[in-house]
Amino acid sequence: MVTGGAGFIGRWLCKSLLEKNNDVLCVDNLITGSETNIKEFMKNSRFSFMKHDIVQPLYVDGIDEIYHLASPASPIHYRKYNVETMLANSVGTMNMLQLARENNAKFLFASTSEIYGDPKEHPQKETYFGNVNPIGPRACYDESKRFGEAMTTCFPDVYVRIIRIFNTYGPYMSANDGRVMPNLINQALTDKFMTIYGNGSQTRSFCYVDDLVKGIYVVMDNFHKGPVNLGNLNEITILELAEKIKQLTNSKSKIIFHPLPKDDPTRRKPDITVARSLGWQPEINLNSGLEKTIEYFRQLK
Ligand code: NAD
Ligand code: UDP
């Protein structure tokens, strides 16, 4: 079962689980996802879709594994759906843990690098407790993910795993979710202004979605007590990213600067020593990941 399976990462996870000959139940209320993302699986007899809000209890049996990804994920989405985000990661996580317990199923919670907030430790290790503003504009997301991690650890009798996903990108990201990748790529492809928030010196480390999906399996299937960071080590400034996208798209766009949103993290890069010890590391470099993502958005035009 994949909650949030009609979203960006969930779609790729469903696809991969089907390719491995699993039966897949995708549960999604489509608040930020789309049926278009899973349209190609609908004819597959191993795939089923249930439109359901996981904040409401769910009773299904025959579940072996729950990948709990359901939550708005982009700053624009979680600000718009702030209460829904808090509930998906708190009550929704509790509901999915109870379902895992009833089914004796394995459970994986998709947490985030956002739980580190604007980090004072760099790169971020799993042992770092973070620097989060509990009442800031990102709080509904950061704090509910922290709560979701705490909730997950309240079920010691269930086989649980926690991953902390760092910025992940690829085809099927929503074109209008406001995240930097779809924004800059679509602006570049249409020769519109490319918007940088702040002076562009803030950094992120971008992981291609195929690498992330492989990491999800590695964490689900191997033992490690505690959360595991999944992300790419290639740290880049947002201005460098914009210039790279401009070059790869051969765009005539002009780069313009807008004010930096409050509490926007200044630096982010994972320490992936734990994931490496489990046998995972990202393989797809930024240029080849960007080329695939640019091609996807080009075809949508
Ligand atoms: P997304 O918005 O594309 O997908 C989220 C999916 O969850 C959507 O299909 C949405 O409709 C569904 N959903 C939300 N609330 C729900 C609810 N109450 N009941 C049922 N379905 C619900 O986002 P994404 O980028 O694919 O992110 C997936 C997960 O990974 C999220 O939990 C997110 O916090 C986490 N994550 C993603 C990133 C990233 O860079 N993409 C980084 C860190 C963490
Ligand atoms: N960003 C930007 N221009 C945009 C969208 C985002 O400069 O059009 C910046 C944003 O302020 C942040 C970084 O890019 O510093 C990554 O933003 P995103 O929303 O993708 O992810 P997050 O902030 O959650 O890491």
CATH code of the domain covering residue 147: 3.40.50.720
301: in domain: no
* Calpha distance 83→80 (Å, rounded): 9
Domain assignment present for residue 109? The answer is: yes
**Domain range holding 124?**
2-170+206-233+265-283
Residue (of 227, 103, 96) closest to 161 by Cα position: 227
Atom of ligand 2 minimally distant from the CA of 114: 24
The pLDDT tens digits along the chain (301 residues) read 999 999 999 999 999 999 999 999 999 999 999 999 999 999 999 999 999 999 999 999 999 999 999 999 999 999 999 999 999 999 999 999 999 999 999 999 999 999 999 999 999 999 999 999 999 999 999 999 999 999 999 999 999 999 999 999 999 999 999 999 999 999 999 999 999 999 999 999 999 999 999 999 999 999 999 999 999 999 999 999 999 999 999 999 999 999 999 999 999 999 999 999 999 999 999 999 999 999 999 999 8
CA atoms within 13 A on the CB side of 39: 5
CB of 167 shorter than 6 A to ligand 2? yes
Closest ligand 1 atom number to CA of residue 87: 18
**141 an active-site residue?**
yes
Model confidence over 133-160: pLDDT tens digits?
999 999 999 999 999 999 999 999 999 9
C-alpha to C-alpha distance for 213 and 77, rounded to whole angstroms: 22
Q: Identify the H or E element spanning 208.
A: strand 207-208
- Could you tell me if residue 33 is inside a domain? yes
Look at residue 247 and tell me if it is in a domain.
no
87 occurs within a structural domain: yes
Query: 175 in a domain, yes or no?
Result: no
Q: How do residues 179-231 score in pLDDT, each as one tens digit?
A: 999 999 999 999 999 999 999 999 999 999 999 999 999 999 999 999 999 99
Q: Is the pTM of this model over 0.75?
A: yes
Q: Are 78 and 140 in contact (CB under 8 A)?
A: yes
The candidate with the shortest Cα–Cα distance to 107, out of 64, 170, 168, is 64
CA-based angle 106:143:49, to the nearest 5?
45
- Residue 134 covered by a domain: yes
Domains of the chain: total: 1
Would you say residue 252 lies in a domain?
no
Cα of 9 vs centre of ligand 1, distance in Å, is: 7
pLDDT recorded at residue 301: 84
